[in-house]
Amino acid sequence: MRGGMGNMQKMMKQMQKMQKDMAKAQEELAEQVVEGTAGGGMVTVKANGQKEILDVIIKEDVVDPEDIEMLQDLVLAATNEALKKVDEITNETMGQFTKGMNMPGLF
């Protein structure tokens, strides 16, 4: 019976350490900035690891009032690329904590 309690305490300590490590990893992800581009670099969108858009950069030669729909499409494409990159770095970073575990909805 004593061995069972020792194993439980060890497991609890491991879980607490994993929680701290995950929290640290999430903080580090929030500080990362990724860029998505569209139109050969005419539009750039920057996002952080929490999927917050930080900046939208549009090169001057793109702005033509007659092509506003194209500009909107480029901004949308660049934004989606940036957010896809956030998902990729999140999966790479947080995946180390869930190796082999099926935990739907955790992230």
Q: Is residue 105 part of a domain?
A: no
Question: What CATH number does residue 68 fall under?
Answer: 3.30.1310.10
Residue 12, token pair as written in the block: 């609890």
- The band of 2, judged by pLDDT with boundaries at 50, 70 and 90, is low
The model's pTM is: 0.59
- The band of 105, judged by pLDDT with boundaries at 50, 70 and 90, is low
Q: Is residue 103 part of a domain?
A: no
- The band of 103, judged by pLDDT with boundaries at 50, 70 and 90, is low
Q: Is residue 107 part of a domain?
A: no
Q: Is residue 102 part of a domain?
A: no
Q: Is residue 101 part of a domain?
A: no
Backbone angles phi, psi at 55, to 5 degrees: -160, 145
Average pLDDT over residues 48-77: 82
What is the domain range of residue 52? Answer: 2-96
Q: Report the domain count for the chain.
A: 1
Backbone angles phi, psi at 56, to 5 degrees: -125, 120
Q: Is residue 104 part of a domain?
A: no
Average pLDDT over residues 70-94: 86
Q: Is residue 69 part of a domain?
A: yes
